[in-house]
Amino acid sequence: MAAVRGLSLTAVALRAVTLWPGGRLLAASRGPRALRELSSSSPEAGEGQIHLTDSCVQRLLEITEGSEFLRLEVEGGGCSGFQYKFSLDTVINPDDRVFEQGGARVVVDSDSLAFVKGAHVDFSQELIRSSFQVLNNPQAQQGCSCGSSFSVKL
């Protein structure tokens, strides 16, 4: 067992959790949670949008400080070909798209947006882990059982 700021985590949970500066926990895996009530990033949410769930907005408001936001990236790798990567960031690049809901911001670069447009970003809290996750990605053909990697529709 490992202790992180008063929290005990099992080895299973340690594989799914990344410790960020300030002792805040952020994970990049997905569980089988049902999709919660959805909030879109704008009133005219379309296919090129990222949708934020209420739980995602609430958790981001709890963990971000100042100009911090959640960055969602898609990288090559994982058992299905591509994987989601979540991180806290403060720098918005020229090719980034910003999706804001209720004061919470999720930023996606233009290359990654092609792989996740129309998807929902959720925050799931389970017994063994708490994590941000991508749900209902219309660009994904299939994914692995842990939900952190996927293959794209051709």
Q: pLDDT per residue over 83-138, tens digit each? A: 999 999 999 999 999 999 999 999 999 999 999 999 999 999 989 889 999 999 89
pLDDT computed for residue 3 by the predictor: 37
In this prediction, residue 78 has a pLDDT band, given cuts at 50, 70 and 90, of: confident
What pLDDT digit, counting tens, does each position of 41-64 carry? 333 445 589 999 999 999 999 999
pTM over 0.75: no
pLDDT(146) > 80 = no
* DSSP E strand boundaries for the chain: 2-4, 7-9, 17-20, 24-27, 38-40, 51-53, 69-76, 82-89, 96-101, 104-109, 120-125, 130-135, 140-143, 149-152
In this prediction, residues 11-25 reach a mean pLDDT of: 35
pLDDT computed for residue 145 by the predictor: 59
Residue 123's φ and ψ, nearest 5 degrees, are -120, 125
pLDDT computed for residue 77 by the predictor: 83
The domains found in the chain, sorted by start residue, are 51-152 (2.60.300.12)
Residue 19 CB partners (closer than 8 Å, separation 6+): 4, 25
Q: Which comes out higher in pLDDT, residue 57 or 30? A: 57
Between the two ends of the chain, the Cα-to-Cα distance in Å is 43
Contact 152, 115 (CB under 8 A): yes
